[in-house]
Amino acid sequence: MSWWGTKFEAIKKAYNNLDKAIYPLIGLPSYEKYLEHFKKNHPEGTPLSRKEFFKEAQDSKEKNIKC
């Protein structure tokens, strides 16, 4: 693999792991933990997509903002 290919793979891996590293720092829940919980407690259902999960988390966070 070329130097650029290696760098691209590192950037891609970091981007894919944002929810594990950055999201907890800004108060967003972990999608992987949600999937584990959902699989264990709601095996007959269909979990939210990653996009739907974070949209719902952001929407609920916005509702709890107190000025």
Please tell me the predicted confidence (pLDDT) of residue 67. 43
How many domains does the structure of the chain reveal?
A: 1
Mean pLDDT of the chain: 81
One-character DSSP codes across 17-44 = THHHHTGGGGTPPPHHHHHHHHHHH-TT
Opening angle at CA 8, ends 19 and 10, nearest 5: 50
Look up the domain containing 35 and give its range: 3-63
Which pLDDT band holds residue 38 (cuts at 50, 70, 90)?
Answer: very high
Higher pLDDT among residues 67 and 4, named by residue = 4
Q: Is pLDDT at 64 greater than 70 in this prediction?
A: no
Confirm if 57 and 28 have CB atoms less than 8 A apart.
yes
Q: What is the CB neighbour count within 10 angstroms for residue 63?
A: 7
